[in-house]
A and B are shown apart, each in its own frame.
Chain A
C-alpha cells in the first residue's frame, strides 16, 4: 500500500477537559475507598447497609452523568432513561414484602 498522508485535522487536547475526567475518576476511587473503610470498621446493621446503598447511588450518578454524558444531554432524553427506572423501586418494595413472608412461613 502506498504511503498516504492523512488530511484529517487533529484538534489539540483541552487540558481542562482531561483534568475533569481524571477528577471524576478520583471521586469514584475515593468513594470506593470510603466503602472499604466502612466495611471493616462499622458493625453490620441497617444503617451500614443504608450508607452503602447511598454511596453506590452516588457513584452511579457520577458514572451515568459524567462518563456516559447523560447529564449533558437534553432533558427529554434524561427523563426517558430515568423515569422508567421507577418500576425498579416498585419491584424492590414488592419482592422485599414477599421475602419477609417466605421467611415467616418457612422458618
Chain B
C-alpha cells in the first residue's frame, strides 16, 4: 500500500505493519461490521418465519383467497399493484423491478471499484454516480410500495368480515396485525440501510471528485463502501425470497 509506512518488524508479527489476512484494517473491520449486521437481519427474518409459522396458513385454492385476520396472507395477493395502472392484478411485478434495480446498482458499484484499482478517476465518478442513482430509484420505489401498502387496496376485494382498509402498526386489511408490523420493520430497516448507503456513497463520490483519492494514492475507500453496498443488495435478495416469494 502506497501510504502505509513500512515498519521493520523482524521476527515479531505483533509489532504491527503486517496484514495476516491480506486485507487492510479498514476492510477487515467493514467485514466484521457486515457480519454483525448479517446477524441482525437474520434474526429479523427468522422472527418473521417463526411468527408466520405460529399463525394458521390459508387452505384452499389461490383463486378463493380473501384477506382475513384469521390466517397469514399469501404475499403475491398482497403485493400485486404497479404504479400508474390501477386495479390490475400483477403479482410481484413491481417488487421484481425493485430487485433488478438493486442488482444493477450493485454491478455499477463493482465497476467503480474495478476502475479505482486502475486509478481511473473519471470512470470511478461515472459508475459511482450510477450507483447513487440506482439507490435513489430503489428508495423511490419503496416509498411508493409503502404508501400503497398503508393506503390499502379496494375494499371490494375484501370478502367476509374484513372491513379494515390499509395498514397500521396495530391492524391491517391483509392479515394478522403482526404481518404489517413485520413488513414495516424489516423492509423499513433494510430501506434505512439503503438510505445510509446512498448517503455514504455520495460522501465518497464527493471525495473522489475533489481528487482526495488521488492525493491519498489509492481508491480503497470506494472498495469499503462497495462492500457495504453489496451487503445491502445481499440482504434484499433474502428479504425478496422470504417476504415476497415464499
Q: CB within 8 Å of B: which residues of A?
A: 6, 8-13, 17-18, 21-22, 25, 28-29, 32, 35-36, 39-40, 44, 48-49, 52-53, 55-56, 59-60, 63-64, 66-68, 73-74, 76-77, 80-81, 84-85, 87-88, 91-92, 95-96, 98-100, 102-103, 106-107
Contact = CB atoms under 8 A, between A and B. Distances in A.
Nearest to B211: A6
B118 A32 contact: no
A99 B51 contact: yes
Given A74-B21, A81-B31, A63 B106 contact: yes
Secondary structure call for the B interface: helix
B25 interface: no
B99 A32 contact: yes
A95 B118 contact: no
B54 interface: yes
Contacts of A87: 39
A91 B42 contact: yes
Interface residues of B, number: 60
Contacts of A13: 114-115, 118, 120, 123
A22 to B, nearest CB: 7
12 contacts: A11-B118, A11-B119, A25-B104, A32-B103, A44-B62, A52-B246, A63-B237, A73-B21, A74-B23, A77-B23, A81-B35, A85-B42
B157 to A, nearest CB: 20
Contacts, number: 145
A99 B178 CA distance: 14
B140 interface: no
Given A11-B120, A36-B96, A64-B234, A77 B103 contact: no
Given A39-B76, A56-B241, A84-B35, A63 B42 contact: no
- Of the candidates A10, A35, A44, A67, the one having the most CB atoms from chain B within 10 angstroms of its own CB is A67
B47 interface: yes
B245 interface: yes
Contact of A52 (B56, B96, B241): B241
B107 A21 contact: yes
A82 to B, nearest CB: 9
Interface string B107-146: 1011100110111110100000000000000000000000
A8 B241 contact: no
Contacts of A21: 107, 110-111, 114
A99 B118 contact: no
Given A9-B119, A21-B114, A100-B53, A39 B103 contact: no
Contacts of B55: 103, 107
- Of the candidates B34, B49, B62, B107, the one having the most CB atoms from chain A within 10 angstroms of its own CB is B107
Given A13-B114, A29-B103, 7 more contacts: A6-B214, A28-B103, A68-B226, A68-B234, A74-B22, A88-B42, A96-B49
